[in-house]
Amino acid sequence: MLIDKIKYLQGYVRVRLYGYAPERFLNLCSNHNILIWNLEYREEQYEFCISVRGLRQLKPILKKTRTKLVILERTGLPFVMRRYRKRKLFFAGIILCCGLLYTMSLFVWKIEINGNLHETDSNIIKFLEGHQVYHGLLKSKIDCDKIEEELRAGFGDIIWASAKLEGTMLIIDVQENLATNQQAEAKQEEDGTPTDLVADKEAVIYSILTRKGTPKVEKGIHVKPGDLLVEGKNPVLNDAKEVASYQYCVSDADILGITEYPYQDSFPLQYDDKSFSGSQSETFGVRIFQKQLKIPHISHKFESYDTITDEYDVKIGETFYLPLVLIKETRKEYKIVPKQYHPSKAKQLAKENLESFCKELTEKGVQIIENNVMIVTDGKKCTASGILKVIEPIGKRKATSMADIQQEGQMENESDGNNR
Amino acid sequence: MGKIKKPKLNQVKSNIVESLELPRDIMYGAVIITAMGRNQVLVENYKGIIEYTREKIRLQTKNCQVTVQGQRLVVEYYTNEEMKITGFIQGISYDS
């Protein structure tokens, strides 16, 4: 393959050889290191290909072997150049094209971001734009180390970033900290500030298991939002069974409560359905830099339609993106048809909605114990309403209020510490 | 004297080549013929072409002549060291 290309670039001719001693001619050629290929014998004459450079050295050999040579065809770039030597604009165009390609290769035309799960691509690109890294920036102005640093500093949950330039593409790999929330929680606990657990919603306590702190509720007690469940301080009693001081701690408990979720869902039986007529119109366009050029839709005019736009990046090889995007826009016509659900179908739909709601709850770690939802279909709409009784973990953290116990208590506490 | 010495020298040379396991093609200038399937023959270490038609290619090597017989024979390329023959090969024979 490559050898063929090189042969084409250097130019070669196909010649016919005849005369007194063609075999001797061939041997002399190989002795002079003149390459001959595709040698064929045809009606007592030889036909072969020989490079232009080889052809120039043939004269003495031809004379010696008393053979003659006829050029059958010329192939290769030198001959093409010779044929088009008067077309100056053509060559100018080639040079211009090369120049343009080179200039385009100096800029970044695509930013690719890999490894992000929480942060969206557009979010990161917006952030980079804020830091003077954008599409169409000179590649020489990009400092990959700086981008990495800025990304790490700018996004709390990005713990590792790597930026590299490949062709006209800036590739950014990031690694996000997936355990951010858990860590933050753990940190809060490690923080050491004493905390209480308070109810975050109305519930009946189903079970309570306290690891740290003083439980303030029992099984079966009804609590309202804000009620104290576990207090983050343990009273220290003196000999007279009076509270002398408090030991503060970060309370920790598993509290399950029975809570109620109201469920309400209703939808009209009549609905509009999109019915695609099947006719569609296509148009094409290009986007150069930020400018968009499009051929308007002429063939069809639709009243209501869906628009599907496909964009194709123009690139050379894998990574050399050009600031040119081909756009294909398809409009699909549809008509709105009013339709009505059959009551049984509506009921099924309501049931499905309820099921998906329940599933969502279960995924959150909630156990459903009672499901009192009624689905009613009257002439116009379908209504599902009722209450779901569930068991779920309750309780949220709140800083413990420091009790102002009499000075002595604290004094005592301190002296206790000293004695130990 | 010289006539007696020469076979002796040859003997010594072949002994050296045998014992040191030197490549024969370099030491003796032996021809190497690589036939791939029925359509391709690669000949290395040849001296020159003696005869070439579409049915027969005769090559001179250091010690013997090699004839490749077949139909529609074409020399794909040939250089000082090697040549590649394609076509429908019917036989390869050696003549001294």
pLDDT at A183: 57
Say what the pLDDT of residue A336 is.
Answer: 86
Nearest CB among A27, A35, A38 relative to B48 is that of A27
Nearest residue of B to residue A45, measured between CA atoms: B53
Q: For residue A329, what pLDDT is reported?
A: 87
Q: Where are the domains of chain B?
A: 1-28, 31-95
- Identity of the residue in A37, A40, A41 whose CB atom sits nearest the CB atom of B77: A37
3-state SS string for chain A: CHHHHHHHHHCEEEEEEEECCHHHHHHHHHHCCCCEEEEEEECCEEEEEEEHHHHHCCHHHHHHHCEEEEEEEEECHHHHHHHCCCCHHHHHHHHHHHHHHHHHCCECCEEEEECCCCCCHHHHHHHHHHCCCCCCCEHHHCCHHHHHHHHHHHCCCEEEEEEEEECCEEEEEEEECCCHHHHHHHHHHHHCCCEEEECCCCEEEEEEEEEECEECCCCCCEECCCCEEEECEEEEECCCCCEEEEEECECEEEEEEEEEEEEEEEEECEEEEEEEEEEEEEEEEEEECCEEEECCCCCCCCCCEEEEEEEEEEEECCCEEEEEEEEEEEEEEEEEEEEECCHHHHHHHHHHHHHHHHHHHHHCCCEEEEEEEEEEECCCEEEEEEEEEEEEECCEEEECCCCCCCHHHHHHHHHHHHHC
The pLDDT score that the predictor gives to residue A71 is 92
How far does B71 lie from chain A, in Å, by closest CA?
A: 11
Which residues in A lie closer than 8 A to residue B52 (C-beta atoms)?
23, 26, 39, 41, 46
Q: Could you report the average pLDDT of every consecutive run of 10 residues in chain A (420 residues)?
A: 87 91 87 87 88 89 90 90 87 93 88 86 88 86 88 86 88 80 58 79 87 84 85 84 82 86 85 84 85 80 86 83 86 86 84 87 83 82 86 82 56 44
A-contacting residues of B 3-42, CB under 8 Å?
none
ipTM: 0.72
Residue of A nearest to B74 (CA): A40
CATH number of this structure's domain B31-95:
2.60.40.2000
Per-10-residue mean pLDDT of chain B, 96 residues long, equals 65 84 78 92 89 90 90 87 91 89
**Residue among B52, B60, B84 with most chain A CBs within 10 A, to mutate:** B52
The pLDDT value recorded for residue B17 is 82
pLDDT of residue A184: 58
- Give the residue from B54, B78, B84, B86 with the most A CB atoms within 10 Å of its CB, the best one to mutate: B78
pLDDT of residue A412: 44
**Which of B77, B82, B83 best probes binding to A when mutated, by most A CB atoms within 10 angstroms?**
B77
